[in-house]
Amino acid sequence: MGDRARRRRLGPLAGLVVAAVVAAGCMGGGLDQGESQQPAPQDSGPAQASPGARTTRADGTTSVAEFKQDFQDAVGLAEKYWTAQFRASGEQFRPIRRVVPYSRAGEVSCGGQGLPRNNAVYCSAGDFIAYDVNWSVSAFREIGDAFLFYLLGHEYAHGVQVRLGIRYDFTIQQELQADCMAGAYLGDSVRSGALTLADGDLDEFRDGLLAVGDDPDQPWFAEGSHGTAEQRSEKFFSGYENSLKACDLG
Ligand SMILES: [Zn+2]
Ligand 1 centroid – CA 221 distance (Å): 15
Ligand 1 mean position to 28 CA, how many Å?
4
185 C-alpha to ligand 1 centroid (Å): 15
Digit-coded pLDDT (tens) for 86-118:
999 999 999 999 999 999 999 999 999 999 998
pLDDT 10s digits, 193-208: 999 998 888 888 888 7
Q: What is the pLDDT of residue 130?
A: 94
Long-range contacts of 81-88 (CB under 8 A, 24+ apart): 81/185, 81/188, 81/189, 81/194, 82/156, 82/160, 82/185, 85/244
The string of pLDDT tens digits covering residues 4-51 is 333 333 333 333 344 334 333 453 333 322 233 333 333 333 333 333
The β-bridge partners of 99 are 129
Please spell the DSSP secondary structure of 44-56, one letter per residue: --S-----S-EEP
Distance between Cα 187 and ligand 1 center (Å): 19
CA 20–ligand 1 middle distance (angstroms): 11
Q: How far is ligand 1, taken at its centre, from the CA of residue 162, in Å? A: 12
- Range with the largest mean pLDDT of 52-56, 90-94, 221-225: 90-94
CA distance 141 to 133: 12
Percent of the chain with pLDDT over 70: 76
Beta bridge partners of 102: 132
Ligand 1 centre to CA of 25 (Å) is 8
Tens digits of per-residue pLDDT, 136-183? 888 777 777 787 898 899 999 999 999 999 999 889 999 999 999 999
pLDDT of residue 40: 36
Q: What is the pLDDT of residues 60-89, one digit of tens each?
A: 567 888 888 888 999 999 999 999 999 999
- pLDDT on residue 61: 60
Kindly give the distance from the C-alpha atom of residue 183 to the centroid of ligand 1, in angstroms, as a whole number: 13
What is this structure's pTM? 0.77
More confident residue, 138 or 189: 189
Q: How far is the CA of 22 from the centre of ligand 1 (A)?
A: 6
Q: Is residue 52 over pLDDT 80? A: no
How far, in Å, is the centroid of ligand 1 from the Cα of 155? 6
Spacing, Cα 72 to ligand 1 middle (Å): 19
| Distance from the alpha carbon of residue 116 to the mean position of ligand 1, in angstroms | 16
Q: What is the mean pLDDT of the chain?
A: 78
| C-alpha 156 to ligand 1 mean position (Å) | 9
What's the whole-number mean pLDDT along residues 231-240? 96
Which has more pLDDT, 219 or 11? Answer: 219
Give residue 27 CA to ligand 1 midpoint distance, Å: 6
Query: How far apart are the CA of 191 and the centre of ligand 1, in A?
Result: 25
Give the pLDDT of residue 38: 36
* Residue 108 per-residue DSSP state: S
Distance 23 CA to ligand 1 centre (A): 7
For residue 65, the model assigns a pLDDT of: 87
Report pLDDT for 189.
Answer: 95
Distance 151 CA to ligand 1 centre (A): 9
Whole-number Å distance, alpha carbon 50 to ligand 1 midpoint, is: 23
